[in-house]
Structure 1
Amino acid sequence: MTTKSIPLTDDLHAYLVAHGSPPDEIMRELIEETRAALPDDARMQVAPEQAAFLTFLTRLLGARRAVEVGTFTGLSALAIARGLAEGGHLTCFDISEEFTGVARRYWARAGVQDRIDLRIGPAGETLRELPYQRDIDFAFIDADKTGYPVYWSELVPRMRPGGVIAVDNVLRGGRVIAPGNADDRAIAAFNDEVLADVRVDAVMLPVADGLTLARVL
């Protein structure tokens, strides 16, 4: 047996998804619509197993107050909203009315629209509108890669002790070990920043394109 994560063939990936809270009809239709209507951008959607993990993690934390930076067509937000404790609330930050218009339709179909507050605008600015108090249980960062340090700096001081920040795309398809473009270099530098941040303990997991989980101390 290997001591490393094994590569996933298409068949093995399908098996993994089928055995880990597979997408229901609403999620499947959202995934399919995103791929069909936005083929050039569909890569920004979280993987199905990642969506299941976000719901599981949100439930595990008993999260009531959650924040998402980068919503796209709403799959990750739907997953997080479904995992919130009773009375929980998710604040989403995105810049696109077009993409989040798709999200709103599916949130309504899933009956979670009342748990989600969507704010449109540059997240580096709109995040600063959040109260400066340590009450966020869970945060998910999956937006423009060069903006990650800004989002991190705004979120960490607002997380409750023991709260968790999940950060997507931290492996950049494997290119973080030899960054080839500005986004790759930004993520490689950000990963080093997280490793050196004494306010958190963190683990990087090979989920989808790499997922860092950081627990705020």
Structure 2
Amino acid sequence: MMRVTNLEPTAFPRLLSFVPDRLCIRHTAFTRPRCRKSSLFTTSCLNDVEVTIATDHNYGNKQVIAVTPRIYDYLLTNVREPPILRQLREETASMRGSQMQVSPDQAQLLTMIVQILGAKRCIEVGVYTGYSSLAVALVLPESGVLVACERDMTSLEVAKRYYEQAGVSHKVDVRHGLAVDTLNSMIENGEGCSYDFAFVDAEKRMYHEYFELLLKLVRVGGVIVIDNVLWHGKVADPLVLDKKTESIRSFNRALMEDERVSISMVPVGDGMTICRKR
């Protein structure tokens, strides 16, 4: 198996060294300390491509490609990233908290959803420096609007500068402050069920509250996308019990049982759940 060291959390990770033409098959049984349940998994490697088969054989031994640095590098070279977005990504990479920025493949998926919906009215909770909001604004029609909620003014100033450079400032309604306050005021102003799309990438312990407010603002048939639902893989580790991880686990369980929406959890970026309001 390949060894990866000092992996840098950049949007375009550098290509690391690999052992060419290596074929390996591994079957491993393990029991974690303090964990009662044993697990069995199978991992196969062919030409540096890792393939994982689900533990439960009732899934038909479905093989899934694990995203190695080489595969992810290939994926990113096949993302259509407008120059203005690339410029923003590169500037953000030098800033504190740059890992919060969505990746180009995530932004590409978000914009495709917006286009498929024919969305004209959108909301973003958690803007940071504006990569995802700028991507969405670029594909909105001239009459479209994106309400961009962000509490950090320093990062928001970067986003506003790029909205201006891209010529989409007239499409973005910037709201500086706590997103909960903004969303509540929008509901009080009679904007319920008038939005087509919403994206959440903000305080993880607030996901439940954000979601309930957005359900009131998004129309039937509209879509809400929630980022970081796999939370660096921590949600799958029963030994990780910090408050943010537990909150995301709780949110994921609640969505599974929520008949108000249709859902699909996809392993893009740090995991995203796409919810369609019924």
Contact 2:79 2:104 (C-alpha < 8 Å) held by counterparts: no
Structure 1 pair 52–200 and aligned structure 2 pair: CA distance change class (3 A): same
Q: What is the CA distance between 1:83 and its match in structure 2?
A: 2.2
Aligned partner of 1:29 among 87, 92, 95 = 87
Tell me how far apart the structure 2 counterparts of residues 132 and 26 of structure 1 sit (CA, whole Å): 31
Q: Distance in 2 between matches of 1:112 and 1:4?
A: 43
* Contact 1:164–1:215 under 8 Å retained in 2: yes
Question: Is residue 124 of structure 1 aligned with residue 185 of structure 2?
Answer: no
Which stretch of the first structure deviates more once superposed, 66-75 or 176-185?
Answer: 176-185
Distance 1:195 1:127 in 2: 24
Question: Whole-Å Cα distance in 2 between the matches of residues 83 and 180 of structure 1?
Answer: 40
Q: Which residue of 1 aligns with 2:130?
A: 74
In 2: Cα distance, 1:24 partner to 1:162 partner? 29
Give deviations 1:167-190, integer Å, cap 9, x for gaps.
Answer: 000000111123332111110001
Partner residue of 2:3? none
Distance 2:129 2:244 in 1: 21
> Does the aligned pair in 1 maintain the 2:125–2:200 contact within 8 Å?
yes
1:46-125 aligned at under 5 Å gives the runs 46-125=102-181
Equivalent positions of 1:1-217 (< 5 A) are 3-21=62-80, 23-38=81-96, 41-130=97-186, 131-178=190-237, 179-217=240-278
SS, match of residue 66 in structure 2: coil
CA distance in 1, matches of 2:151, 2:267: 28
- Measure, in 2, the Cα distance between the counterparts of 1:133 and 1:18: 40
1:20 Cα offset (Å) = 3.0
Q: Which has the higher helix share?
A: 1
Unpaired segments of 5 or more residues in structure 2?
Answer: 1-50, 54-61
Q: Any idea what SS the aligned residue of 1:72 has?
A: coil
CA contact (8 A) 1:64 1:89 kept: yes
Aligned residues of 1:65 and 1:137 also touching (Cα < 8 A)? yes
1:14 aligned counterpart, secondary structure:
helix
CA distance, structure 2, for counterparts of residue 52 and residue 79 of structure 1: 8
- Check conservation: 2:226, 2:274, Cα contact below 8 A: yes
Find the aligned partners of 2:248 and 2:123 in 1 and give their Cα distance.
Answer: 20
TM-score where L is the length of structure 2: 0.74
Tell me if structure 2 keeps the 8 A contact 1:68–1:141.
yes
Q: Distance in 1 between matches of 2:216 and 2:133?
A: 22
Specify which structure has the higher proportion of strand. 2
- Structure 1 pair 107/132, CA: closer, same or farther in 2 (3 Å)? closer
In 1, Cα distance between equivalents of 2:106 and 2:117: 16
Unaligned 5+ residue runs, structure 1?
A: none
Aligned length: 214
Deviations 1:33-73 (A, max 9, x none): 111132xx011100110011111111111000100000000
Larger radius of gyration: 2
Q: CA deviation at 1:132?
A: 4.2
Deviation at 1:4, TM superposition (A): 4.6
Q: 4+ residue runs of structure 1 moved beyond 6 angstroms?
A: none
CA contact (8 A) 1:176 1:185 kept: yes
Q: 2: CA distance between counterparts of 1:148 and 1:6?
A: 29
RMSD across aligned positions (CA): 1.4
